[in-house]
Structure 1
Amino acid sequence: MESSTLEVPFLLANQSEGCMAADATAENTLFGVFYILVFFLALNGNGLALWIFSHQRGASSPANVFLFHLAVADLCYVIILPLRASYHLTGGHWPFGEVPCRVAGFLFYVNMYASLYFLACVAGDRYLAVVHAVRSLKVRRARSAHIISLCLWALVTVSMAPLLLSRQTAEVDGVTVCRQLYREKASRRALVSLAVAFTPPFLLTLTCYLLIIRSLRRGSRLDPALKMKALRTIGLVMLIYVVCFLPYHASRATFILGYSHPDVSCQTRRGLSLANRLTSSLTCLNGALDPLVYLFGAEKFRGTVRRMFCRDEAGISAATSGELKGTHESSLSAKSEF
C-alpha cells in the first residue's frame, strides 16, 4: 500500500541536505513522552479488550469479531512504541539495529491500514444492523466476519512485506537513523498508495454513517437503545478517522507534492517534514482511542467492564461499612444476570 514510500533517498541534493537540520531537543522530548503515554494507554485498553473478547461465552457478533482483530492490530503496534520513544529520547539515534527498524516500519503501516479497514468493517456492520436489520441476518455471521478479517490481514501483510526485505537504516552525520522515523520519501508514486490505502475505507465509513443518519431520520423501527449504540459507534469511528488518520494522509500528500518542488525554501521543507512527523505520531492515538469503540460498540465488553468497576466500588463500600457478606451476595447475583 505504501511500502514504496519508505525507501528514503539519503543522497540528497545540496539544497535538500541543508534543510535536513538536526532535530531539536524539545521536539524529540515531546515525541518521546507522547509515545510513552500512548504505549501505556493502548497497552492497558487493548490488553483488557483482548482478554474480554477471548473469554466471552456464547456466539460472537460480527462487530465483536472485527473489534477483536482491531485489538490484535493495535497490540502488534503498541509493542514497538517504546523503541520509537527511545529513538527520540536519545536525540534521533537508532541503537537497535537493522531488523528492529524494519519491523517497526512494517508494524506501523500494518497497524494503520488494518485499523482503517477493520473500522470500516465495523461501520458496515452497523449499517446492516440498522438499515437492513432483517434482511442482513443471514449475512451478519461471526464466521463470515472471521473470513473477511483473515483476508484483510493477508492483504495488508503481503502489501507491507517489502518493508521487511529492504534496508531501513542509514548513517546520517555520524548518527544511525531509522528511515521511517527520519524522513519518508517524497515520491509522486506514493500518492497512488495513499489513495488506494486510505480512500476506500474512509468513503465506506462515511457513506455508512450518512445512510444510518438518513434511516434514523426517516423513522427507523429499530429500538431506541440500538439506535444510540449505532450512532455512538459510527461517531467514534469517524472521530478516530478525523483525529488519527486524515491529518496524516493530508500531510503526506502535501509533503509529497511540495517537498521536492524547486521553488520551495529550506524553511518550508523543514516545516513539511515536521508536519509529516507530527501527523505520523497522531496515527498512534488510534490504539488509545479504539477501546472507546469497544466500550460503546460491543455490548458484552461494556457489560464486563461495568461489572468489574461496580464490583470494585462495592468492595470499597463494604470495607468501610463492614457489610462484606452482603457485598459478596450482590456480586454473585450480578454474575448470574450476565
Structure 2
Amino acid sequence: MNTSAIDATPLITNQTFEECEGETSIENLLFGGYYILVFLLALNGNSVALWIFSRQRGTSSPANVFLLHLAVADLSYVIILPLRATYHLTGGHWPFGEVPCRVAGFLFYVNMYASIYFLACVAGDRYLAVVHAVRSLKVRRARYAHIVSFSLWALVTVSMAPLLISQQTSEIGGVTVCSQLYREKASRKALVSLAVAFIPPFLATLSFYLLIIHSLHRGSRLEPALKLKALRTIGLVLLIYVVCFLPYHASRAIFILGYNHPSQISCQAKRGLMLANRLTSSLTCLNGALDPLVYLFGAEKFRGSLQRLLCRDKAAGSGATSGELKGTHESSLSARSEF
C-alpha cells in the first residue's frame, strides 16, 4: 500500500466495519417503528391468507398450494420482527441472548429464500397454465405441488441449519450485538452462496413472466379483462422482487466485496455500506406485508373467500368472472385462480 499519498479524506487502515458503525437514535426509532408496522400488516394479512388457503385444501390448484406455503414462510419470519424492533428501540442492544439471535437469523434466511423459490414456483405454474394449458394438465396437480414445496422447505432448512449451531452474539462497545442483524459474516464463500441462492430463481421467475407476457400479446384467447388481470399480477410479483429482494442482494454483494478490502475504504464509506445493509435488509421484511396483495389480486378463490369472510356481496364479481371463463378450455385453465 502506498502510505505516502496525502488526501483530505485519508483511507482508514486500522478500523473494522464495526468500529466505524454509528447508529443514530433517530435511525433506531425509525427502524423500530417500521418493524412494528410491518409486523402488524404481515401478521394479519398472512394469518387470514393461511386460514383461507387451508380451507381450500380439497380443491386447491398448484399455485394455491405454493401460495399456502408462501404464507407459512412469511408467518415464520413475522413472529421475530418484534425482536428486531426491540433491538433498535433499545439503542442497538440485543437483550435476548444467544439462542434467539440464532433463531432470528435462521428464520430471516429461511423466509427470504423460501419466499423467493415459492414465487418462482408460482411463476412456473402460471407459465404452464397459460402457455401450455392442455399439455400441462397431468403435471399441474396439487399433490405434485406439495411434494415440490416440502422438498424446497427441506433444501432451504438444511442450507441454513449451520446458523443454529454457530456463535452469533458478541460484545461491541459495551453492548451485546447479534451478528445476524446486519453484521453477517462476509467472505468470498458468502458471495458465491448469495449468487447461487438468488440468481437462479430470480431469472426463472423473470423468464416465465416474460414468456407469459409474450404469449398474451401474441394472441392469447383470454378475455381482455383477464389479460389485464394477469399482467397486473405479474407486475406486482416483479415489483416485490425489485423492492424487497434485489436491493438486498446487490447491497450484500457490495458489502462483502468492501469487507474483504477494509483498508481501501474510508470510515465514511463503511458507514454508508452498513447503513445500506440495514436499509435493504429491512426491505426484505416488507415482502411479508406485500405478499397478501398477490393473493388478493391474483387468486380469485382467495378474493371470494375474503369477501365472504367480510360479509360482502360476492354475487356480482363471481357472476361476471364465471361468464368470462366460458370461452375456451385454455382460458379456463389460465384464469381460474391465480396470476
TM range (shorter): 0.7 to 0.9
- CA deviations on 1:33-88 (whole Å, 9 max, x unpaired) are 00000000000000000011111264110010000000000000000000010011
Measured after TM superposition, the shift of residue 236 of structure 1 is 1.4
After superposition, the Cα gap between the structure-2 partners of 1:17 and 1:200, relative to the gap in structure 1 and judged at 3 Å, is: closer
Please show how residues 100-115 of structure 1 align to structure 2 within 5 Å.
Answer: 100-115=100-115
- The aligned counterpart of 2:27 is 27
Is the 1:42–1:75 Cα contact (8 Å) retained in structure 2? yes
One-letter code aligned to 1:100: P
CA distance in 1, matches of 2:168, 2:123: 35
Query: Match of 1:214, as an amino acid?
Result: H
What is the match of residue 320 of structure 1? none
Give the superposition deviation at 1:306: 2.4
Counterparts of 1:18 and 1:83, CA distance in 2:
21
Matched, 1:278 2:279: yes
Instruction: Give the length in aligned residue pairs.
Output: 305
- 8 Å CA contact 2:255–2:277 kept in 1: the answer is yes
Question: Residue in 2 aligned with 1:256?
Answer: 256
Indicate conservation of the 8 Å contact 1:245/1:283, yes or no. Answer: yes
Query: Match for residue 132 of structure 1?
Result: 132
TM-score between the two structures when normalised by the length of structure 2: 0.85
Indicate whether 1:72 and 2:77 are aligned: no
Query: What is the CA deviation profile of residues 198-251 of structure 1, one whole-angstrom value per residue up to 9, with x for unaligned ones?
Result: 001100010011101111111012344443333233221111000000000010
SS in 1 for 2:92: coil
Amino acid at match of 1:273: M
TM-superposed deviation, 1:189: 1.7
**Separation (CA, whole Å) in 2 of partners of 1:57 and 1:279:** 35
Q: Which amino acid aligns with 1:66?
A: F
C-alpha distance in structure 2 between counterparts of 1:53 and 1:71, whole Å: 9
SS in 2 for 1:73: helix
- Distance in structure 2 (CA, Å) of the matches to 1:222 and 1:21: 54
CA contact (8 A) 1:126 1:234 kept: no
Aligned to 2:209: 209
Contact 2:170/2:179, CA 8 A, preserved across alignment: yes
2:236 aligned with 1:236: yes
Unaligned runs of 5+ in 1: 1-12, 315-329
Q: Give the equivalent residue in structure 2 for 1:123.
A: 123
For residue 91 of structure 2, what is the amino acid of its counterpart?
A: G
Residues 145-178 of structure 1: per-residue CA shift (max 9 Å, x gap): 0000000000000000000000111111111111
- Report the residue type matching 1:101 in the other structure: C
1:302-332 deviations in Å (ceiling 9; x for gaps): 1112233453xx7xxxxxxxxxxxxxxx99x
Equivalent residues of 1:128, 1:136 under 8 A apart? yes
Shift of 1:258: 2.1
Q: Greater shift after overlay, 293-302 or 247-256? A: 293-302
Question: Partner amino acid for 2:193?
Answer: S
Aligned to 1:47: 47
SS of the equivalent of 1:171 reads strand
Q: TM-score when scaled to structure 1?
A: 0.86
Alignment of 1:58-207 (within 5 A): 58-207=58-207
Per the alignment, residue 269 of structure 1 pairs with 270
Partners in 1 of 2:103 and 2:141 — Cα distance?
34
Matches of 2:155 and 2:175, distance apart in 1: 35
- Given that 1:18 and 1:266 are in contact with CA atoms closer than 8 Å, whether structure 2 keeps it comes out as no
- The amino acid across from 1:127 in the alignment is Y
Q: Secondary structure at the match of 1:14?
A: coil
Give the partner amino acid of 2:275: L
Structure 1, residues 108-161: CA drift from partner, whole Å, max 9, x if none?
000000000000011111111111111111111000100000000000000000
Root-mean-square deviation (Å)? 2.0
- Secondary structure of 1:91's counterpart equals coil
Asked if structure 1 preserves the Cα contact closer than 8 Å seen for 2:20 and 2:268, the reply is: no
Find the counterpart in structure 2 of residue 327 from structure 1: none
> Given that residues 21 and 270 in structure 2 are in contact (C-alpha distance below 8 angstroms), is that contact kept between their aligned partners in structure 1?
no
Q: Which runs of 5+ in 2 are unaligned?
A: 1-12, 323-339
Q: Secondary structure at the match of 2:59?
A: coil
